[in-house]
Amino acid sequence: MATKVCVTGGSGYIGSWLVRKLLVKGYTVHATLRNLEDRSKVDLLNSLPNADTNLVLFQADIYNAHEFDDAIQGCEFVFHVATPMQHDPKSSQYKDRVEATVAGVRIIADCCIKSQTVKRLIYTATVLASSPLNEDGSGYKSCMDESCWTPSDHLPLTYANDYVLEYTKAKTLAEKELLIYNEMEDAKLEVVTLLSGLVAGETIQSHLPLSVQVILSPFTGNMFGYYQGLKFMEEVLGSVPLVDIDDVCEAHIFCMENPSMKGRYLCAAADPTVREIKACLEENHPEFKIDEKFREEAEIRGIKCDSSKLKEMGFEVPISLIPVSYVGSCYFLQNLPRDPVRVGKDLNLTEKTRLGGCKRKKRVVCGAGLIFPVDPWAPNIDSQSIASQLFAFSLFPYIGFLYYITKSKSAPKLTLFGFYFLLAFVGATIPAGIYAKVNYGTSLSNVDWLHGGAESLLTLTNLFIVLGLRQALRNENAPKKSSSDPVSEIKEEKKPSV
């Protein structure tokens, strides 16, 4: 019988690639998603090799961590990849994302123990939890290794904002919480925390993963990706540790298949500075221009990321990820396509993956860290831009509609107010979208509390329109009823009495 494993956050960048590799290797996989009604994510996982026989999907949310019980029950190993990226404002249990993340890992660890079948819990940690900064922020230690912990106090960091600080603190405290289980004699659970570098490479998702957006930010001009991504990591860590998606997932599986393993392990293939990343991009791909606002860069001495502990256990990130021509660069940085416009023709709309050599169609391929939009209807960067332009253009005919319906005086007053109130929704959406992009590095639709707030205005608009029309119908029916009453009375009088 195939070994059962559980992967939380199965539809994410790392989660989906890990699920795929596990299925190819013959494991039975229990994968969790926040919402099984999200057909795009469900269909993606169900399309993976061996999914029809070896994949079971479960709905579970970190904010309701007890929902993971069924997914974990009967499994021998659990990969805890999921982490809340935004705080759920409806949560009455936790005041912020930090509390939710820490409580989530604790509950999942307890679920593993309660199952009596789980031998090991592998947690996808982040190198941001292992800063070599001195406690007072005065400088860095000689290198970054598993003994380093990011200071919990808010250091005077130039490129930090509340979002990245909260994320870093949440992941750091959650990792510390999990490692305590290794000290419990009666727990009978081994915990491995794998501190992954910034992940890039191919993807089977239909959109560009956030970590790849961060790495490509010098090309794309993404302010959040560059300053709160690359520059923040460099400021906290002294460099930007990088790792390929395929290798970090192989490292996860290695941590599972090893007969006995527990503790912290760094996993990074390279540790360039931001200046070195940009120099590599420009040297190898002069046709891709670095955004002018990101050109100036002070030279710093990069801090090395020591992954030797993982190597001593028997796993080594392939040296091919660090080409001899540019020490400190990474595979995907050396393989950006020369002509992105022709990439669809060159690939014939398919691309062989590094897993099993099987072909996949209508997927975004990031083998070089750059998207290939082979599916024209996938929600990639270009389609988002087109949607934004169409949304803005639609305002002009709508304003014309408002002019004529006001001039005609045919609409009920409350309904007319509802039509005008829709402009409040538009007015709120624009700054909300800008705020989501600047502070979260993503579109408005991916930030639940902002998107929900904007949509509430649309709900009010619909209510005003419907209530206005209902009142108009009632007023229209009222005279008919009153005019018919006298006729009825006359008929009654004419009836002969018996």
Q: Which residues are catalytic?
A: 171
Closest CA to 208 of 380, 12, 85: 380
Q: How far apart are CA 45 and CA 42, in angstroms?
A: 5
Q: Where are the alpha helices (DSSP H) in 228-273?
A: 232-237, 245-257
Closest CA to 107 of 94, 89, 95, 90: 94
Question: In this structure, what DSSP letter does residue 320 have?
Answer: G
In SS3 terms, 114-148 reads as HHCCCCEEEEEEEHHHCCCECCCCCCECCEECCCC
CB 225 within 8 A of CB 214: yes
Q: How far apart are CA 29 and CA 35, in angstroms?
A: 17
Q: How far apart are CA 270 and CA 195, in angstroms?
A: 14
Residue in the structure block whose two tokens are 């699920």: 19
Question: In this structure, what DSSP letter does residue 412 have?
Answer: -
Q: What are phi and psi of 285, to 5 degrees?
A: -140, 70
- For strands 263-267 and 190-196, give the pairing: parallel
Residue in the structure block whose two tokens are 């975004």: 364
Q: What are phi and psi of 71, to 5 degrees?
A: -70, -35
CB 419 within 8 A of CB 402: yes
What crossing angle do the helices spanning 381-393 and 395-408 adopt, rounded to 10°?
A: 20
Tell the burial category of 307 from Cβ atoms under 10 Å away from its Cβ (0-12, 13-18, 19+).
buried
CA–CA distance from 343 to each of 198, 336, 340, 372 (Å)? Answer: 25, 11, 5, 7
